[in-house]
Amino acid sequence: MATTEKMTLNMGPQHPSTHGVLRLVLELDGEVITKVTPDIGYLHRGVEKLSEHRTYHQVLPLTDRLDYLAPMSNNLGYILTVEKLLGIKVPERAETIRIIMAELTRLQSHLVWLACHALDIGAMTVFIYAFREREVVMETYELISGARMTSNFFRAGGLSMDVPPEFEKKVRDFVDSMPGYLDQYEGLLTTNPIWLKRTIGNGVISAEDAIDIGLTGPALRGSGVDWDLRRDNSYSGYDKYKFEIPVGENCDTFDRYKVRLVEMREACKIIQQALDNLKPGPVLADDPQVCYPKKDDVYNSIEGLIHHFKIASEGYPVPEGEVYQGVEAPKGELGFYIVSDGSSRPYRLRIRPPSFVNLQALEKMSTGSMIADLVAVIGTLDIVLGEIDR
């Protein structure tokens, strides 16, 4: 009689389907997984420690590098937290542009998710198509901030600068054509028998289990929990927009796929409404203690130069206290918790990364399934290691 024994297999840290440097130690019975132990920390850069030694303004570029597939969502979460501490109000134009960029970021992040998720399961064509559209978002990033990924565009009190005139047309053309592209992806996947076989019934997690383990974002909504911070704890003026929150039923990978696709269509609607609302006006609050002076003043007057130099070198004092602000990032609830001691540097800055908490569900969702299905579960959780390891 044939004998079998359990095998321990090392997956990663360099493995194409682990989406970065994630190492998984698998215990296998044949091809069936009996235990998964994620090993993280390969990208730990000490962002929280570094933040304690930098001014509030200097922390902003660090946040771009958390979830590098959704830089503006991170910027938004951090800036909103600082603004909450400062208690300053942002001009309407700046808020509207922030929403446009946050939703474009959601599109971009979901496009990368769709591309890599499909590629992992073997559908390569979608990858090429999704990256084609992602390129437009990257170009928009470059247009307004000069950088394709590390945007560093928002400022406490508004934006670093106004958007160029061609911005509106570029974004409108993109969101008008996006539903057609989404139909293309759906045509390749939604009724594709291989895709259905790989995703239906894969990575099932019930709503109670999902809440208990802390899942947030599309992963939680795929399990049927109707909760979205943009609607339920509105921030940055999201309450002015009409959009649907898609919710899944079967708690599996296919439902999470559908939820994210609907989210992309809803993001387009939000951007269209925001573009209709976009009116000329200031993009930075009138608060000289916190906000940088206009570049014109910096170059042409000594007072402006001193003003700029003071903020850049010393930063601005922030009232003593502690605040938490969560935003609905593409991957789930991204939270920033800042303790201020009244100086110009955070006393403690804590980042609550959605991917870190979501990855914890991996073990529950993949134990008992095959290795190939584990790859689908990693894809459906939509993790980014830059954010997990910080």
Q: In the complex, which residues of this chain contact another protein (CB under 8 A)?
A: 40-41, 44, 46, 48-50, 53, 84-85, 87, 211-214, 216, 225, 227, 232-233, 321-324, 326, 333, 335, 337, 339, 341, 347-348, 350, 352, 356-357, 359-360, 389-390
Give me the sign of the Cα torsion angle 314, 315, 316, 321. negative
State in angstroms the smallest separation of the CB of 360 from another protein. 5
State in angstroms the smallest separation of the CB of 344 from another protein. 17
Q: At residue 135, what is the residue type?
A: E
- 249 vs 322 by CB, closer to another protein: 322
State in angstroms the smallest separation of the CB of 178 from another protein. 30
**What are the beta bridge partners of residue 37?**
25
State in angstroms the smallest separation of the CB of 5 from another protein. 25
State in angstroms the smallest separation of the CB of 69 from another protein. 20
327/329 Cα distance (integer angstroms): 6
- 129 vs 337 by CB, closer to another protein: 337
- 212 vs 276 by CB, closer to another protein: 212
Report phi then psi at 67, rounded to 5.
-95, 95
110/315 Cα distance (integer angstroms): 35
- 53 vs 295 by CB, closer to another protein: 53
Give SS3 for 379. helix
- 58 vs 233 by CB, closer to another protein: 233
State in angstroms the smallest separation of the CB of 347 from another protein. 8
Is residue 238 a contact partner of residue 229, using CB atoms and an 8 Å limit? no
- 354 vs 379 by CB, closer to another protein: 354
160/310 Cα distance (integer angstroms): 17
State in angstroms the smallest separation of the CB of 287 from another protein. 17
**What are the beta bridge partners of residue 350?**
337
Q: What is the DSSP string of 313-364?
A: HH-----SEEEEEEEEETTEEEEEEEEE-SSSS-SEEEEE-HHHHHHTTHHH
- 156 vs 189 by CB, closer to another protein: 156
State in angstroms the smallest separation of the CB of 227 from another protein. 5
Give SS3 for 269. helix
Q: What is the DSSP string of 32-74?
A: EEEEEEEE--TT---HHHHHTTS-HHHHHHHHHTTSTTSHHHH
**What are the beta bridge partners of residue 352?**
335
- 175 vs 361 by CB, closer to another protein: 361
| Lookup: tokens for 1 | 């009689």
Task: Decide: residue 92, CB within 10 A, 0-12 exposed, 13-18 middle, 19+ buried.
Answer: middle
